[in-house]
Amino acid sequence: MADGFHFETLVSPSGGGGPRLGRLDTPHGAVETPAFIPVGTKATVKGVLPATLREIGVQMVLANTYHLALRPGAEVVRDLGGLHAMMAWDGPVLTDSGGFQVFSLAPLRRVTEEGVAFRSHIDGAQMTLTPESAVAVQNDLGADVIMALDVCPPHPCPRGEVEEAVRLTLAWAERCRRAHRRGDQALWAIVQGGVERDLREQCAARLVAMDFPGYAIGGVSVGEGHEHLKAVVGWTAPLLPADRPRYLMGVGEVRDVIASVRAGVDLFDCVLPTRNGRNASAYTADGLIRLRNETFRTDRRPIEEDCDCPACRRWSRGALRHLFASGEMLGPILLSIHNLRFYTRLFAGLRGAIGDGRFDACAQGVLDRYYGKH
């Protein structure tokens, strides 16, 4: 484990699978797991002050290597004191490697043995990320946890393309490990393999043999659907070392979270809470509600009666609907805060249930209420 890092499972089932309670210590504080990591792509969680993130229970935030390398540039972030100073966030930070952009910006990139050549989505300029440069950028950004560069294939995808993605991911993981220069940052590897069980197993085994301090499961939430996701995570999580953190990248749908915690995943990130918040959709225990609907025009209730977030304490559904109808920026801000609080409350509840030995009953109750029991 890198300097200042320690991971401990406090409650863990035998056999390597199943829900577990843990604690990840980093140079910038601890994360109680399982935990949700809000996405701050460009060194900010859109519309939410760092102090508010702390107030609503956020423990760790994520920033994006590709986007920050383009603007303002890794050197600028470094010269401003690193991500923690630039973001005014003194807690743990994780940066992804740019590998997801291999999927999301497919028309703008070309993958070779050396790395990924991107045509900037901002101005069309060429930018190349290699395993070495992806690590160097993240060393400059200064996050606590940094990720190895990988290839994230889409779904569906021909098996041959998935095999090639796994081959490059493994080769690049070794190159990233050799390039990593900072002892106060933990470099984690990413398991790829699409929905092919044997490829997931091969990739996991090879990465575990390289002895990284943490492991992610990548290449899900790319169109495969809940059942495939559940299967992939169920195969893969037990293959990863029980004494290392397990991170599922880009997953936030409630049913996917529940299934993955059940499989033994510790950390999650996703844009859904803030993206939905900016689009007038609010999470509740009874499912997602869309506040632009006319039915909320004179609704004096809070989004959720038992929620302690600033939006629920002081604004009604009708008032929030008005903010969106009027194009006022406060609406997206308040709903982003509420949605993130929904997730921190959800994960706190799951942690409590694991600690008390009642995860299955708690999880089923969450699912029945959120999706409606039929």
Each residue's pLDDT, cut to its tens digit, for the chain (374 residues) gives 678 999 999 998 876 679 999 999 999 999 999 999 999 999 999 999 999 999 999 999 999 999 999 999 999 999 999 999 999 999 999 999 887 787 677 788 889 999 988 887 778 878 889 999 999 999 999 999 999 999 999 999 999 999 999 999 999 999 999 999 999 999 999 999 999 999 999 999 999 999 999 999 999 988 889 999 999 999 999 999 999 999 999 999 999 999 999 999 999 999 999 999 999 999 999 999 999 999 999 999 999 999 999 999 999 999 999 999 999 999 999 999 999 999 999 999 999 999 999 999 999 999 999 999 64
Q: Where are the alpha helices (DSSP H) in the chain?
A: 50-55, 65-70, 74-79, 83-87, 99-104, 131-141, 159-179, 197-210, 225-236, 254-263, 272-278, 310-314, 317-325, 330-356, 359-371
- At 374 the pLDDT is 42
- In this prediction, residue 15 carries a pLDDT of 64
**Any idea which residues carry the catalytic annotation?**
96, 269
How far apart are the C-alpha atoms of 48 and 65, rounded to whole Å?
20
The residues that bridge with 129 in the sheet, in sequence order, are 116
pLDDT at residue number 1: 65
Spatial distance between the Cα atoms of 301 and 314, rounded to a whole number of angstroms: 10
Domains and CATH numbers, the chain: 6-270 (3.20.20.105), 277-371 (no CATH)
Q: What count of other Cβ atoms lies within 10 Å of the Cβ of residue 3?
A: 10
Residue 16: the pLDDT is 61
SS3 225: helix
242: exposed, middle or buried (Cβ count in 10 Å: 0-12, 13-18, 19+): middle
Q: Which amino acid, residue 175?
A: R
Task: Assess whether the previous peptide bond of 38 is cis (omega < 30° from 0).
Answer: no
What are the backbone angles phi and psi of residue 193, rounded to the nearest 5°?
145, 5
> How far apart (Å, rounded) are the C-alpha atoms in residues 58 and 81?
22
pTM comes to 0.96
Distance of alpha carbon 190 from its chain centroid, rounded?
A: 13
Label residue 324 left, alpha or beta by phi (over 0 means left) and psi (-120 to 50 means alpha): alpha
Question: How much is the pLDDT for 122?
Answer: 78
* Nearest in space to 98 (alpha carbons), one of 60, 58, 141, 59: 141
